[in-house]
Chain A
Amino acid sequence: DAKTTQPPSMDCAEGRAANLPCNHSTISGNEYVYWYRQIHSQGPQYIIHGLKNNETNEMASLIITEDRKSSTLILPHATLRDTAVYYCIPSGGATNKLIFGTGTLLAVQP
């Protein structure tokens, strides 16, 4: 299972872009990069995933480096409701089980 490195915490001003980095240098060729977040006392919530190309959906953008060893999740206009722990998770293969690390606690400040 690929290991990930994320900063333990980050702050962001409300309305500004939040850029959350993740290092996953041991990712396998068939593994996608998934991002989930967990708001306090709730179950994790899927945000976005990607394999090689950059991806964008209504929640966020995902930038994956060409060597796939790192990625950045971008929340374009952070709101107070985006305060959560964000997890970067390489996953793939038959089981698609998610191996969570300790994630990044993003605190959006008013």
Chain B
Amino acid sequence: DTGVSQNPRHKITKRGQNVTFRCDPISEHNRLYWYRQTLGQGPEFLTYFQNEAQLEKSRLLSDRFSAERPKGSFSTLEIQRTEQGDSAMYLCASSVYSGSSYNEQFFGPGTRLTVL
């Protein structure tokens, strides 16, 4: 399968622990986006990368959140000192951007985080 993959699919952690999620985009997709989705709501934009550069971060992304895409391929999203409010589905999407406005995003299956 050559789609977007995310690992782990589920993560249960205790409040105060650190967690890290991984996203592997579709090969040769230069853009990678992170979103968060809570129950009953649509996904919310968190941040995005073009190649290895992080170009925008949402106000939702507090100092406890950090994302990297070191070689312009896979990306990691780390949450430090987790809180119960961090419980959500974390979605990754990738796309090809070549300068035009059109930009179809392909989403992964998500990582469901539960903070106890």
Contact = CB atoms under 8 A, between A and B. Distances in A.
A93 B45 CA distance: 15
B: interface residue count bin: 20 to 34
B95 A42 contact: no
B51 interface: no
Main secondary structure of the interface of A (DSSP, over half): loop
Interface string A67-107: 00000000000000000010100011101111111110000
A46 B101 contact: no
Given A97-B33, A97-B48, A43 B107 contact: yes
B105 A46 contact: yes
Centre residue among B33, B42, B45, B93 by max chain A CB count within 10 A? B42
A43 B110 CA distance: 6
Interface string B87-116: 000010101010001111111111000000
Contacts of A49: 102, 104
Interface in A19-56: 30-32, 34, 42-46, 49
Contacts of A87: 42
Given A44-B107, A97-B33, A102-B41, A92 B48 contact: no
Interface of A: 30-32, 34, 42-46, 49, 85, 87, 91-93, 95-103
27 contacts: A31-B101, A32-B101, A32-B102, A42-B109, A43-B107, A43-B109, A44-B91, A44-B105, A46-B104, A46-B106, A49-B102, A85-B42, A91-B103, A92-B101, A93-B101, A95-B48, A95-B56, A96-B31, A96-B95, A96-B103, A96-B105, A97-B33, A98-B33, A98-B45, A98-B93, A100-B42, A100-B43
